[in-house]
Amino acid sequence: MPPLEVRPLQPDDLPALMAVQRAAYGDGFMESTEVFARRLASPVNCSLALLLDGALCAYLAAYHSVQGKVTPLHGDFEPPLGTAPDTLYLHDMAVLPHLAGQGLPQRLLQPLWEQATAQGLRQSALVSVQGSEGYWQRHGYVAQPLHQPEQQQRLASYGEGAVYMARTLQAT
């Protein structure tokens, strides 16, 4: 396999990110370039790009948040109000379909988990969609109930079968 590079996701990556997103999810979960631009500008953003031979082939949109808070589909990365972040929230990870099965997600997940742990975050959370719950369980995530009606409504923006999941981050 040609050389892989992991680096922070940048505004110049947005056209390629849109192509990866469409290839991975189809139109059902497409989020706009404008939403992603606002996310990249957020002070809590920590999203990563994976480049294969210099071309974006995967990304992980993520930010620092708090446990039990869901970013709705098409929502911005909101800094926590009145409290310090304790959670690495993984909003969206996509890999070009023809590269599936080659371990590329781990190249994005591992550095973010390590960075979050070093920064004192205690857990990571996400919303599982499109039947991906088993995949995330294999990475240590467990389904968690959401008790606040606002967060339940945000979860519902992903459609039926969406599951809020979390895992503990541990120093290695």
Do β-strands 55-65 and 48-52 pair in parallel, antiparallel, or remain unpaired? Answer: antiparallel
pLDDT in tens, 95-136: 999 998 888 999 999 999 999 999 999 999 999 998 899 999
What is the structure's pLDDT at 30? 86
Q: How confident is the model at residue 171 (pLDDT cuts 50, 70, 90)?
A: low
Average pLDDT of the residues in 145-158:
95
**Considering the chain, what percentage of its residues have pLDDT values greater than 90?**
85
What is the structure's pLDDT at 130? 84
What is the structure's pLDDT at 172? 52
Q: What is the dihedral of CA 151, 153, 157, 159, to 10 degrees?
A: 110
CB atoms within 10 A of CB 12: 10
Average pLDDT of the residues in 49-59:
95
Q: Inter-axis angle of helices 33-41 and 14-25, to 10 degrees?
A: 120
